[in-house]
């Protein structure tokens, strides 16, 4: 009788296979033809990680904003990914339901490969063709009750199909966030050993961290020897590289194939520093003329503008070396725009945003753009556009300290300069050859250049560097040549 009821039901009844197996083992067999499926009106579509910047092939998944079963609409945030250059929030391009997630938090995802799968609703189905939500729920509920009663009658099972522990079911459900699942897997912890404090006794990251602290305290022997310095490790530890450090490792490894030519020279920046100090004492004068935006002027915008002026005479230093098209016949692409990457020290590592079109910018415009990019870099909010298109690199290592450094080239650019710390030095001054020279105080900074010696010879680099020095030492002349 029960089987005939199931046979007459026009709707799909999903019964766990373990109960069907038990009913069959009890003597009564349920023919497979009595259970059928209806055509799905949903389309499972893989959501690919799009290209988020030139040269980026993989990203680290920082966090997920969704979980399997969540319904999303277009432009809803799905996850946050971190490349070696910037943090990007990925949004949905579809309306649908999250079917599955392919990566845990902190895992690396490849560009062009699926991040997750989305069930996209079939727009061809009309409301008249499908039952309403309440009607469908009533039909499925009635059929499931009938099917449950029939299986239980043949197996002497209780009508309640769920005989699991509610606490363990909540812990082991799919509602565990990816970050918690990743921590459990990394530290080889059984979720049953942790008491969840979240909603529905769900295990949270704080619960896992609390469990780790208690476990380490129990296993770690007491030591009376204090650390040499607050925060210094007491024992060896293995530390994984961050995405920025991983990319730096790859880029610097490739840089080993470039023969570097180094050139350093000392530049007298006394008049330049004096100009900056006078400007900073009277910022209101500049605001009246140029508007707000720059509250403090440094020497870096002047150095970048002087280099841009020198590149008008020595354009081959502002170029890309193309070896990919034909390794046996490389090409030097001389760039018309002067787009200078600036090295910014951030809590997450060294980032190099790009100030574009310096040849068409004023000193104040360059200073404003440096301020904007530096702020975004320290906040971790740079976009791929802010990081792309560099034709030359300027590193202001003097802001930390140090005079002479050996900057490393990053392909495909062919030149880089590092600006050292401005220092007061004694200099012999002789205005009249018939008078003994006097000693005066001057302010100087060392500029350290590196160039790709495969396409640039030392004389070309030295001439360009000396032209930059002459412009900076006669800073009042820079305004004459500005466009």
Q: Which of 465, 448, 453 is nearest to 321 (CA)?
A: 453
Q: Are residues 284 and 414 in the same domain?
A: yes
Residue 296 located in a structural domain? yes
Catalytic residues: 453, 457
One digit per residue, the tens of pLDDT, for the chain of length 483 reads 444 444 444 444 444 544 444 444 444 454 444 455 555 455 888 888 887 666 677 888 888 999 999 999 888 889 988 876 667 788 888 889 999 999 998 888 888 899 999 998 654 443 334 444 443 344 334 444 333 333 333 334 444 434 444 444 444 444 577 777 778 888 888 887 887 777 767 788 788 888 887 777 666 555 555 555 666 777 888 888 887 788 888 888 888 889 999 999 999 999 999 999 988 887 665 555 555 556 688 999 999 999 999 999 999 999 999 988 877 888 999 999 999 999 998 887 888 999 999 999 999 999 999 999 999 998 888 888 998 999 999 999 888 888 888 999 988 999 999 999 999 999 888 666 777 788 889 999 999 999 999 999 999 999 999 999 999 999 877 765 555
Residue 248 located in a structural domain? no
Q: Are residues 22 and 79 in the same domain?
A: no
**Range(s) of the domain holding residue 60:** 42-121
Q: Are residues 64 and 148 in the same domain?
A: no
Q: Are residues 188 and 207 in the same domain?
A: yes
Q: Are residues 31 and 50 in the same domain?
A: no
Taking a C-beta distance cutoff of 8 angstroms, is the pair 15, 37 a contact? Answer: no
Asked, as a colleague might, if the bond just before 373 is cis with ω within 30 of 0, I would say: no
Q: Are residues 34 and 47 in the same domain?
A: no
The set of residues, in sequence order, having a beta carbon less than 8 Å from that of 340 and lying 6+ positions away, is 304, 307, 308, 354, 355, 358, 390, 391, 392, 393, 394
We report the CATH number of the domain holding residue 203 as 4.10.320.10
């Amino acid at each position: 009788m029960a089987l005939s009821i199931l046979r007459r039901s026009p709707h799909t009844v999903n019964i766990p296979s373990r109960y069907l197996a038990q009913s069959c083992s009890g003597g009564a067999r349920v023919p497979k033809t009595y259970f059928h499926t209806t055509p799905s009106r949903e389309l499972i579509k893989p959501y690919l990680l799009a290209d988020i910047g030139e040269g980026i092939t993989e990203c680290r998944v920082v966090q997920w904003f969704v979980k399997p079963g969540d319904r999303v609409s277009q432009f809803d945030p799905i996850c946050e990914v971190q490349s070696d250059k910037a943090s990007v929030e990925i949004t949905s391009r579809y309306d649908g339901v999250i079917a599955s997630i392919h990566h845990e938090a902190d895992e690396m995802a490849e560009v062009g490969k699926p991040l997750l799968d989305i069930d996209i609703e079939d727009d061809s189905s009309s409301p008249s063709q499908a039952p309403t939500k309440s009607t469908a729920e009533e039909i499925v509920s009635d059929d499931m009750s009938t099917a449950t009663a029939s299986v239980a009658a043949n197996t002497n099972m209780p009508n309640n199909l769920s005989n699991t522990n509610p606490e363990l079911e909540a812990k082991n459900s799919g509602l565990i966030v990816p970050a918690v699942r990743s921590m459990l897997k990394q530290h080889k912890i059984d979720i049953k050993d942790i008491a969840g404090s979240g909603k529905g006794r769900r295990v949270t990251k704080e619960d896992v961290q609390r469990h780790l602290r208690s476990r380490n305290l129990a296993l770690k022997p007491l030591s009376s020897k204090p650390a040499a310095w607050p925060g210094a490790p007491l024992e060896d530890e293995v530390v994984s590289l961050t995405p920025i450090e991983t990319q730096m490792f790859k880029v610097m490894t490739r840089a080993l194939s470039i023969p570097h030519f180094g050139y350093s020279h000392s530049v007298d920046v006394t008049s330049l520093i004096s100009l900056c100090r006078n400007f900073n004492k009277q910022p209101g004068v500049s605001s009246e003329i140029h508007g707000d935006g720059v509250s403090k002027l440094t020497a870096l915008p002047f150095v970048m503008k002087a280099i841009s002026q020198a590149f008008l005479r020595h354009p081959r230093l502002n170029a890309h070396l193309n070896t990919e098209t034909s390794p046996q016949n490389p090409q030097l692409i001389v760039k018309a725009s002067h787009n200078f990457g600036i090295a910014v020290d951030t809590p997450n590592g060294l980032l190099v945003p790009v100030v574009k079109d310096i040849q068409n910018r004023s000193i104040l415009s360059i200073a404003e753009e440096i301020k904007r990019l530096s702020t975004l870099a320290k906040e971790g909010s740079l976009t791929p556009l802010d990081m792309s298109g560099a034709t030359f690199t300027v590193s202001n290592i003097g802001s930390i300290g140090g005079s002479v450094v050996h900057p490393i080239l990053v392909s495909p650019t062919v030149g880089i300069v590092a600006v050292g710390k401005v220092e007061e030095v004694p200099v012999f001054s002789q205005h009249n050859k018939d008078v003994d020279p006097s000693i005066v105080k001057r302010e100087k900074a060392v500029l350290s250049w590196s160039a790709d010696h495969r396409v640039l010879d030392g004389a070309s680099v030295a001439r360009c560097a000396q032209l930059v020095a002459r412009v900076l030492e006669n800073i009042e002349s820079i305004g004459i040549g500005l466009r």
